[in-house]
Amino acid sequence: MSGATELLSGDALTEAISESMVTLYGRHYGHDRTTGTTYINDNVVVCVLEDILSTGESSLIATGAGGAGQVIDERVAFQDGMEDEFTAEIERLTGRQVTAFLSANQTTPGVACELFFLDAVPEAAGSRQT
């Protein structure tokens, strides 16, 4: 979290976070159709991602027989392994430390919610947040 670069704010910040989360999903799930929308309120960042399922996941879910549960289990394991990468992006973009990270997924429809709790707003940057 270097102070060497100017931090984004407002719509530019939420758009950058959405783009970053979509890029991470695309890189790790191998498709580029996921879309994201980010909301920031005080020390909470929420990124809602839609159309998250890979072709393989969609096929597994379509077979029934517990496929949706397997997809969710695999995504939970993925998020556990990716926590550092996801939080590093939020810290880089906001200039604030992530104190907690939660992730939730649903298969029908294929949506995810990435939730980040941030440390206190730096006094000099108190008016930056949207």
21-77 tens-digit pLDDT: 999 999 888 888 899 999 999 999 999 999 999 988 998 899 887 888 999 999 888
Average pLDDT, the chain: 88
Q: What is the mean pLDDT of residues 90-118?
A: 95
pLDDT at 2 over 50: no
If you search the block for the tokens 């695309």, which residue do you land on?
A: 26
Buried b (16+ CB within 10 A) or exposed e, 29-46: beeeebebebebeebebb
Give domain limits for the chain: 10-118
| pLDDT in the model for residue 125 | 52
Residue 103 backbone phi and psi in degrees, to 5: -140, 140
- pTM score: 0.84
Interior CA angle at 42 toward 79 and 33, to 5°? 40
